[in-house]
Chain A
């Protein structure tokens, strides 16, 4: 991944800002709890969820273990169907290829389907630098683009914005990008969606070049699959003359039949629907229907480095459903921006440091952006053991060790700044092995509890920066037990 989120502070610092924003916390809490409840209900509708999850996990695992073979097969199938395949080892190469392809069409604007891969490589910025304007057409991406903002959720990138904020963004910024917002625009979601429809339709109808990602690529047939809701995807995939899809190499699946698993698990895990409103599948080009030219850019950008780690490679199974974000207690409070990458939440915490390496402060902090509660693993439709990978990455941060960067074997040194954690653990061990000291300390704390600070000094400050310090009880538990013998005195 490249500089999309350059200069991001490390996770604890970024999360602290988010925690002070009560509007953001309210928006996030509402959104994650709503979708969490809906997901559980839709998943409960299918009796074979465990079997589907196992099959999905095994399909992805098998594909990764034979990735070279399936990528070559995919290339052959896409080419045979009339498409052109390009390979990009990194973001710069992918951006160069797409820019060249757009230039060859003579066009200076493109319409885009929501795509994590193109955000990861900073494609819009690269096109802008080449004098090509890229229009995001997913409603949430439009809100993010017009608001000069960053996405904060994989599925609902503008989840941190409420309706009043969205209305203000439309009123202020739409005119600078095309058709202005209608007069007297209110903050009703239906009116806001209508404003987006009018604003974007003029772009769809004149567009000559579309840019997309893909949810799945079928090696056997060369078929590309895009799953969406609004129809903006269909507009970008079928109206332009040229279609360029930038897709991570991990999105390939072996056979047509494999789609029967993911078309059942993805919608239920992501939007909690039985099926999303629109799914497009295309294989190369079709005479007289859709784009005349189709280009597939296969993107590595850190994926093969991730593949080299036998524990961490399971992160590449991810189908970007975002179920793990919606159940994560840390994501719910910190929001997506704190993760400093286009992949927030639990999956971001394991994907970003593997794709980008752990050289930066934010990437070193991401494996710690979790309480290891395991809820993310429970909901994952391809059974990625996120806690296992987090622990693996923590070990790498603290201990260092061998890793692969840009295809080369390297030996990482331990990251600085983890001495305080080791010191705290040593102090805890001493206290717990000296009961007298513990008892005295607890009594003192109870008597002085009115003097309790909001934050701890010293190394403890890091803990209280993102949490409320618990109330100290009026009496230590041991004293209460001795006085009441477990509450018997009070009940009898």
Chain B
């Protein structure tokens, strides 16, 4: 008997006492937990994202889409970055103002070559406000998983408000499990030594996030842009 048959046989015998139950899965589990925590305007959701990103020691910047090239150039100069990795699909205008050696994201690149890169600039698939999380799914402008891991400096551009959702359930709805997904909440960190949090163990030690787009004004409900609905719903 193969181990497969052995294990499945044991499972079936172990469950002999369990009565037959054909309740469809959708009805077997109560889903009365919140789709999002609290009611926020679009502006407030973006603001919460910025706060939670900063709380996990990501450096947050904001600009209008047109200001992106100048801002990215400035951030890369401040970092002293020369070799910058730009994945396929990243709008070429974004890095047009920066003086750099553009490194393409190639399957043939070795991890050692990636280790010699100063900075990587990517977009993202979705950002989660309540948890301060960026999700990359390998789509245009995001590249392979390893490019946001091996270089020490990652700049991630989030288009606001359209790429922002309030909560984890809303993020999962937007994502496809068929793609490789990386969820990033702040830079790499450890608390293994006396529970003292230390940033930057193996991933990028510096994570900068640019919230790019028309930034809705912050405030309570009832303002010009402010429908009290979650962003992207």
Q: A and B from one assembly? A: yes
Contact indicator B191/A48 (Cβ below 8 Å): no
The A/B interface has a contact count, at CB < 8 Å, of 251
Instruction: Provide a sorted-by-A list of 5 A–B residue pairs whose CB atoms are within 8 angstroms.
Output: A46-B37, A156-B195, A231-B203, A238-B180, A278-B185
Q: Does B219 contact A (CB under 8 A)?
A: no
Q: Does B189 contact A (CB under 8 A)?
A: yes
List chain B residues, Cβ under 8 A from A363: none
- Expressed in whole angstroms, the Cα–Cα distance for A4 and B144 within the complex equals 38
Q: Using A221-B178, A274-B132 as known contacts, list a sample of 5 further A-B pairs with CB atoms less than 8 Å apart, ordered by residue number in A.
A: A52-B33, A158-B193, A271-B191, A300-B7, A407-B9
Q: Does A235 contact B (CB under 8 A)?
A: yes
Contact indicator B192/A51 (Cβ below 8 Å): no
Residue of B nearest to A236 (CB): B202
Do A62 and B203 form a contact, CB below 8 Å, given A47-B37, A205-B112?
A: no
Contact indicator A88/B3 (Cβ below 8 Å): yes
Contact indicator B10/A201 (Cβ below 8 Å): no
Contact indicator A71/B11 (Cβ below 8 Å): yes
Contact indicator A201/B202 (Cβ below 8 Å): yes
Interface residues of A in 209-241 (CB under 8 A from B): 218, 221, 223, 229-232, 234-235, 238-239
Q: Does A275 contact B (CB under 8 A)?
A: yes
List chain B residues, Cβ under 8 A from A125: none
Contact indicator A62/B25 (Cβ below 8 Å): yes
Contact indicator A277/B184 (Cβ below 8 Å): yes
**Chain A: minimal CB distance from B133 (Å):** 5
> B residues near A, CB below 8 A?
2-4, 6-15, 17-18, 21, 25, 28-34, 37-38, 52, 56, 107, 110-112, 115, 128, 130-133, 138, 144-146, 149-150, 168-169, 172, 177-196, 198, 200-204
Contact indicator A201/B11 (Cβ below 8 Å): no
Q: Does A146 contact B (CB under 8 A)?
A: no
- Expressed in whole angstroms, the Cα–Cα distance for A52 and B32 within the complex equals 8
Contact indicator B191/A229 (Cβ below 8 Å): yes
Contact indicator A204/B193 (Cβ below 8 Å): no
- Expressed in whole angstroms, the Cα–Cα distance for A27 and B111 within the complex equals 38
Nearest 8 pairs of A and B residues by beta carbon: A231-B203, A304-B10, A231-B202, A275-B131, A308-B14, A279-B183, A51-B33, A231-B188
Q: Does A484 contact B (CB under 8 A)?
A: no
Q: Does A54 contact B (CB under 8 A)?
A: yes
Residue of B nearest to A288 (CB): B107
0/1 string, A273-307, CB within 8 A of B gives 1: 11111111111001011100000001010001101
Contact indicator B183/A234 (Cβ below 8 Å): no
List chain B residues, Cβ under 8 A from A81: 178
Do A218 and B177 form a contact, CB below 8 Å, given A230-B189, A255-B25, A304-B7?
A: yes
List chain B residues, Cβ under 8 A from A279: 181-183
Contact indicator A27/B194 (Cβ below 8 Å): yes
